Structure 1
Amino acid sequence: MERSRKMKAKTEQLFRKYGIFFIFIGMVVLMSILSPAFLKVGNLLNVVRQISVIGLIACGVTMVIITTGIDLSSGSVLALSAVVAASFAQRADWASKMYPNIDVPLIVPILAGILVGVLCGAIVGIIIAKTKIPPFIATLGMMIVARGAALIYSDGRPISSLKSSYNFIGQGKVLGIPFPIIVLVVMAAITHVLLTNTKFGKYVYAIGGNENAAVVSGINVDKYKVLIYTYAGMLSGMAGIVLSSRISSGQPGLGVAYELDAIASAVIGGTSLNGGIGKITGTIIGALIIGVLNNGLDLLNVSAYWQQIVKGVIIVAAVILDERKNRGKK
Structure 2
Amino acid sequence: MMAWLKARLGAEVLGLGLFLVLVVLVFSFASDRFLTAANFGSVAVQLPELGLLTLAMLLPILSGGLNLAVTYTANISALTLAWVLQANGGPEAGFGAFVLGSLLALAVGGAAGFVMGAVVAYSRAHPILVSLAMMIFLRGLGEYLTRGGDISGFPDFVAAIGHGSILGVPAPLIVFLACVLLWQILLGRSRLGFFTYMVGSNIEATRYSGVNTKRALTLIYTLSGLMCAVAGIVMMARFNSVRVGHGEAYLLITVLACFLGGVDPFGGFGRVTSVLLALVILQLLSSGLNLLGANQHLSTAVWGLFLIAVMVLRFGWKRWIEMRRNGT
**TM-score, structure 1 normalization:** 0.90
The percentage of aligned residue pairs carrying the same residue is 28
Secondary structure (helix, strand or coil) at the match of 1:301 reads coil
Give 1:163 deviation, angstroms: 1.1
Number of corresponding residues: 320
- Deviation of 1:306 after TM superposition, in Å, equals 2.2
Q: Quote the RMSD (CA, aligned, Å).
A: 2.5
- 1:306-329: CA deviation from partner (whole Å, max 9, x where unpaired): 222211110111222332455558
- CA shift at 1:243, angstroms? 0.5
Matches of 2:91 and 2:38, distance apart in 1: 39
1:278-330 residue CA offsets vs partner (Å, 9 max, x unmatched): 01111111111111111111110013332222111101112223324555589
Could you tell me which of 26, 29, 33 is aligned with 1:33?
A: 29
C-alpha deviation, 1:201, in angstroms: 0.9
Aligned to 1:24: 20
**What residue number does 2:233 align with?**
241
Given that residues 74 and 258 in structure 1 are in contact (C-alpha distance below 8 angstroms), is that contact kept between their aligned partners in structure 2? no
Higher mean C-alpha deviation, range 138-147 or range 32-41: 32-41
Whether 1:152 and 2:144 are equivalent positions in the alignment is: yes
Q: Deviations over 1:190-242 (max 9, x none)?
A: 00110001111111111111111111111111111010011111111111110
Residue 223 of structure 1 is matched in structure 2 by 215
Contact 1:77 1:233 in 2 (8 A): yes
Superposition map of 1:178-327 within 5 A: 178-324=170-316, 327=319
Q: Which amino acid letter does the alignment assign opposite residue 36 of structure 1?
A: D
- 1:91/1:27 CA distance change after superposition, 3 Å: farther
CA distance 1:42–1:95, shift in 2 (3 Å):
closer
1:106 aligned partner: 98
Query: How big is the shift at 1:155?
Result: 2.5
Measured at CA, do residues 8 and 181 of structure 1 come closer, stay the same or move farther in structure 2, by a change above 3 Å?
Answer: closer
Query: How many angstroms does 1:17 deviate by?
Result: 5.0
CA distance in 1: counterparts of 2:299 and 2:38, whole angstroms: 22
Q: Relative to 1, partners in 2 of residues 1:94 and 1:208: Cα closer, same or farther, differing over 3 Å? A: closer
User: Map of 1:45-64 to 2, 5 A cutoff?
Assistant: 45-64=41-60
CA distance in 2, matches of 1:283, 1:17: 9
Partner of 2:34: helix, strand, or coil? helix
- Asked if 1:76 corresponds to 2:76, the answer is no
Matched, 1:140 2:136: no
Q: TM-score, normalised by structure 2?
A: 0.90
The range that moved more, 197-206 or 102-111, is: 102-111
CA contact (8 A) 1:58 1:262 kept: yes
CA contact 2:13–2:273 (8 Å) conserved in 1: no
Letter of the structure 1 residue corresponding to residue 257 of structure 2: S
Q: Which runs of 5+ in 1 are unaligned?
A: 1-6
CA distance in 1 between partners of 2:214 and 2:71 (Å): 24
**In 1, Cα distance between the equivalents of 2:53 and 2:151?**
22
Q: Is the contact between residue 272 and residue 322 of structure 1 (CA under 8 Å) also seen in structure 2?
A: no
- The more displaced of 149-158 and 50-59 is 149-158
Q: Does 1:161 find its partner at 2:153?
A: yes
SS where residue 253 of structure 1 aligns?
Answer: coil
Inter-CA distance 196–8: structure 2 relative to 1 (3 Å threshold):
closer
